Chains A and B, each alone.
Chain A
Amino acid sequence: DAKTTQPPSMDCAEGRAANLPCNHSTISGNEYVYWYRQIHSQGPQYIIHGLKNNETNEMASLIITEDRKSSTLILPHATLRDTAVYYCIVRVVDSPDSWGKLQFGAGTQVVVTP
């Protein structure tokens, strides 16, 4: 079963902020939330990850609710090049050594329009 729930698609106007929601109500205390995106014909690209605090880097911001049951990825100023499938992933922990395989869902297809 998928551990995250995302809307199948979203449209966003160029230059505006894009807010991508993700529900992960069964997340465990030691599981991180990761975001990747995949542009057509390319491999997934790492965006950001976090545990419980909000995180920001040069690409995006990640807002995690206090109960950690949901999060939002924010692209502050969307461009046409941000059109991609965005995946919200909870890191699977199989053993104390944490192999860390990623379990992808269907993601959200984001289309940025001029």
Chain B
Amino acid sequence: GAGVSQSPRYKVAKRGQDVALRCDPISGHVSLFWYQQALGQGPEFLTYFQNEAQLDKSGLPSDRFFAERPEGSVSTLKIQRTQQEDSAVYLCASSPRGRHQPQHFGDGTRLSIL
């Protein structure tokens, strides 16, 4: 079946521009997570949705980062006024209902800020 899909696969933006990254989770998955992965490091948690409710945004690095999932399916991560330190791979993961269900990841969006 279809896995988690992220688009675009690559994004290049100039410093100061706004960007939007899209995540299509596996159909029926209740939970959706965003992670940020810097070069050579493991992914770091950004935010978590249960259906359309954003229940944890403790990992968002600044108020320039905003995520939404208005209908409980597709999610968008938006970064305003991008800075060079925002360059990273942004990963989305989804999982079905259940406390210990594993998360299934997309291949990420590689964001480069010039």
Contact = CB atoms under 8 A, between A and B. Distances in A.
Interface residues of A, number: 24
B43 A44 contact: yes
Nearest to B108: A43
Interface in B71-102: 91, 93, 95, 99-102
A81 interface: no
B107 A41 contact: yes
Contacts of A49: 100, 102
Interface string A67-94: 0000000000000000001010001001
A42 B102 contact: no
A40 to B, nearest CB: 11
B99 A100 contact: yes
B45 A46 contact: no
B62 to A, nearest CB: 19
B96 to A, nearest CB: 12
A44 B105 CA distance: 6
B103 A46 contact: yes
Chief secondary structure at chain A's binding surface: loop
A104 to B, nearest CB: 3
A106 to B, nearest CB: 6
Contacts of A87: 42
A103 B99 contact: no
A45 B42 contact: no
Interface string B14-32: 0000000000000000010
A103 B59 CA distance: 11
Contacts of B105: 43-46
Contact of B48 (A44, A99, A105): A99
13 contacts: A32-B100, A46-B104, A49-B100, A49-B102, A91-B100, A99-B55, A99-B56, A100-B95, A101-B56, A102-B43, A102-B45, A104-B44, A106-B42
Given A46-B105, A100-B99, 16 more contacts: A42-B107, A43-B106, A43-B107, A46-B102, A49-B100, A49-B102, A85-B42, A91-B100, A97-B99, A100-B95, A100-B100, A100-B103, A101-B45, A102-B45, A104-B44, A107-B42
